[in-house]
Amino acid sequence: MRAFVDGSTDRGFRRVGDFNGAEQEGVGGYPVNIVDGMRQNTALAYLTPQVRRRPNLQVLSEVTVDTVLIKDGVARGVVSASGTVYRAAEVLLAAGSYGSPAILLRSDVGPAKDLRAWGIDVVADLPVGQRLQDHPFFHSLFALAPEHQTMTDAFAAGLWCASTEARAGELDLGIVAVHLLDGSFSTTGGALLLATALTRPESRGSLTLAGRDPYDAPVINDNYLATARDRRRILEGVKLVRSLVNTPRFAGALAGELVPGDAVQGDEELLATIEAGISTYGHPTSTVPMGRPEDEWAVVDELGAVQGVARLRVVDASIMPEVPSTVTNATTIMIAEHIAHRVYGA
């Protein structure tokens, strides 16, 4: 990790002490939410034993929601896959960027032509599932030099920067160095991964139903690198990785490039390799996007209320109009806290 940070500063990037501070452009240790060796989540942080004892809270596990029960344009509860009806004065969906749109589509809320194709009546003709975004990334792998294979407590280090095509104030490239790898495939027994992510992608994907059964996984088309600008920028990021590893203070820690490999040269060949190996950070957003009533792509308003259906809200990453340039976890929590405060005074 230290060699990655040193190599980045040698290339002119400044050292960032805390990516959660006022300035994020630069290189530094990757922040994590680990307490006493355990990664924290919303269940641990919010559903404390005291909260779980509240008489107005009941947590049900292993329940698959099929549809929202909608009558006369008003959400009345939800129906499980087993047919059990759970009635409620208001319904809040928080099933994520894949689950929430799938539930809405099965509940007659979505693009009319798609719903009718499945024999589903239309309650609200809305563009559910039409603006899927995520953070695509490509992983470059390097063999660690034998004398640099001692693992430290540092999980990762990151570089956040702007491409040459970034818009004003935009940090559209992220490079993360991670050493938590099985080194058995490396010629030296140790390996380092440098993941290049496009954090402000233009490309939009989609989510549609594969079937009416709630156990049928939806059809997800990520549509990564669909625009020429996206392809140019991620190519620039992977070439930046190659530039970083050739700095004197970084090169000494490595013993060669494993992926893409030294045989892959030239922009055309490198881009083809990137497209063949593209992956995701798993930060899907924007399948139930927030917007104004006049926005043709909007499904919910600024407080998560679904247009055309009373007493129904969506409160998760699916309502982000665009994927943020960072990990979506904290942003999603912020959205939930904001809506809770604005709507319920919590």
Q: Residue 203's CB: how many other CB atoms inside 10 A?
A: 18
148, 283, 338, 341: the catalytic one is 283
Q: What share of the chain is helix, strand, coil (3-state, %, to 5)?
A: 25, 25, 50
User: Is the CB of residue 101 less than 8 Å from the CB of residue 218?
Assistant: yes
339 to each of 87, 147, 290, how far by Cα in Å?
Answer: 22, 52, 12
The structure tokens 């009558």 sit at: 71
**Residue 283 is among the residues annotated as catalytic for this protein:** yes
| Helices and strands (H and E) in the chain: how many | 9, 18
CA distance linking residue 338 with residue 333, whole number of Å? 9
Q: Kindly calculate the radius of gyration of the chain based on its CA atoms and give it in whole angstroms.
A: 23
CA distance linking residue 182 with residue 193, whole number of Å? 11
329, with CB counted inside 10 A (0-12, 13-18, 19+), is middle
Tell me the DSSP string of 126-191: --TTS-BB--EEEEEEEEEPGGG----S--EEEEEE--TTPPTT---EEEEEE--S-GGGSTTS-E
* Inter-axis angle of helices 2-10 and 228-245, nearest 10: 110
329 to each of 195, 205, 240, how far by Cα in Å?
Answer: 19, 20, 27
Q: Residue 334's CB: how many other CB atoms inside 10 A?
A: 10
Residue among 97, 36, 100 at smallest CA distance from 65:
100
User: Is the CB of residue 120 less than 8 Å from the CB of residue 175?
Assistant: no
CA distance linking residue 249 with residue 60, whole number of Å? 53
Annotated catalytic sites, by residue?
283
